Amino acid sequence: MPIKYLGSKRRLVPVLGALCSASGARTVLDLFTGTTRVAQACKRRGATVTAVDTARYSEVFARCYVETDAASIDLDALETELARLDGLPGRPGYFTETFCVTSRYLRPENGERVDVIRDAIQLDHAGSWLEPLLLTSLIEAADRVDSTTGVQMAYLKQWAPRAANRLTLRVPELLAGPGRAVRADAREVAADLGPFDFAYLDPPYNQHRYFTNYHVWETLVAWDAPKHYGVACKRVDARDASTKSAFNRKREMPAALRECVEAVDARLLVLSYNDESWIALEDLADMCASRGHAEVLAFDTKRYVGAQIGIHNPQGEKVGSVSHLRNTEYLLVCGERPEVERAIEASEAICTT
Ligand SMILES: C[S@@+](CC[C@H](N)C(=O)[O-])C[C@H]1O[C@@H](n2cnc3c(N)ncnc32)[C@H](O)[C@@H]1O
């Protein structure tokens, strides 16, 4: 089961990979990388990828899947250490108390295992090449047994059946080749990272903040036992301006996005968009005009799982229903006209299946 992430482009990955290959890209920028799924697809196709995001956990994923070269690490050492950590007996600490007793992200027996494993990573591996690999394995293991609908703003009233499974560490599926992980605000770094052959931009388009929706992962990485508030036990710094994104503010988002679209140095730029966004598709196309020709590809896709099962209040009770279950995802492909047309033509077989 792939990791649960709002706006994850899992379904569009084959198309994005095809566009990347069709453009002959050797260098790729994934500017809002999230799970790094798209960055991984491009790396798998031989590109050197730079993956950018503001989230701590996303930097960890990028250091694991994008920056780590599978061909140059000691896989035995990784497997041995994961097996040792996996075998440690649980011990309750901040994580268990906060996310398994005060709130219900994991069952306490799994929370105790998170506490002991995360303490051991801190003690034995802080700053080492193994650290992002072990942390990624731990976050993915927690995600497989969590009791959420895919976001961490509220937990299910009844434990999810998967929560009864034992939290188990697995070896992340690493990729060969070089790459770069950058934790930064896209607006601040967009102009200075290139040049690139291919850039993919997949920003948030509405008020749903990643910092609060994935606050448990932020805390798992920071391991700073923050004070918390609300039924979901969110980090108190979720209230700080420094943890808020211009892309989650209706008035600021269009200008922030325009800044990035104009600043990125790339031959071909692909922008993700969906029809639940604050901005109109025509305005987005207009924004891309500065880059030359723009074509729009549309995909009907299932909405994220939280919406599919209804609207819940913080107690996990269903308080409304969802107006529609399907939405449309768009990819705007921009650059010099022949290049755009060539890339689209070469990826067409996949787009139409
Ligand atoms: C729609 S998600 C990207 C999903 C990703 N393409 C995937 O498949 O997993 C948007 C991402 O933008 C990040 N983000 C929000 N504001 C940002 C900013 N100002 N600079 C860089 N990243 C930002 C969020 O942390 C989130 O991971």
Per-residue pLDDT of the chain (353 residues; tens, 9 = 90+): 789 998 888 778 989 999 999 999 999 999 999 999 999 999 999 999 999 999 999 999 999 999 999 999 999 999 999 999 999 999 999 999 999 999 999 999 999 999 999 999 999 999 999 999 999 999 999 999 999 989 999 899 899 999 999 999 999 999 999 999 999 999 999 999 989 999 999 999 888 899 999 999 999 999 999 999 999 999 999 999 899 999 988 899 999 999 999 999 999 999 998 777 888 888 888 888 888 888 888 887 655 444 444 444 444 555 555 455 567 788 899 999 998 988 888 777 655 55
Based on its alpha-carbon atoms, the radius of gyration of the chain, rounded to whole angstroms, reads: 20
Nearest residue to 38 via CA among 55, 56, 51: 51
Q: Do 126 and 187 fall into the same domain?
A: no
Q: Do 147 and 195 fall into the same domain?
A: no
Per DSSP, helices labelled H in the chain are 13-22, 37-44, 56-62, 75-86, 94-96, 108-125, 131-144, 186-189, 210-213, 215-222, 253-263, 281-288, 305-308, 337-351
Q: Do 146 and 31 fall into the same domain?
A: no
pTM for the full model?
A: 0.93
Is residue 115 one of the residues assigned to a domain? yes
Name the DSSP class of 174.
Answer: -
Ligand 1 centroid to residue 26 C-alpha, Å: 23
Q: Answer for the pair 267, 335: CB distance below 8 angstroms, yes or no.
A: yes
pLDDT score of 350: 57
pLDDT score of 25: 95
pLDDT score of 40: 97
Q: How far is CA 112 from the centre of its chain?
A: 26
Q: Do 184 and 156 fall into the same domain?
A: no
Domain at 5, CATH number: 3.40.50.150
Q: Do 32 and 133 fall into the same domain?
A: no
Ligand 1 centroid to residue 89 C-alpha, Å: 35
Q: Do 145 and 1 fall into the same domain?
A: no
Q: Answer for the pair 278, 284: CB distance below 8 angstroms, yes or no.
A: no
Q: What range defines the domain where residue 194 resides?
A: 1-73+175-209+245-353
Q: Is 57 in the pocket of ligand 1 (CB under 6 A)?
A: no
SS3 state of residue 331: strand
Q: Is 38 in the pocket of ligand 1 (CB under 6 A)?
A: yes
Q: Which of 53, 187, 271, 329 to mutate to test the pocket of ligand 1 (most atoms within 8 A of CB)?
A: 53
Q: Do 154 and 167 fall into the same domain?
A: yes
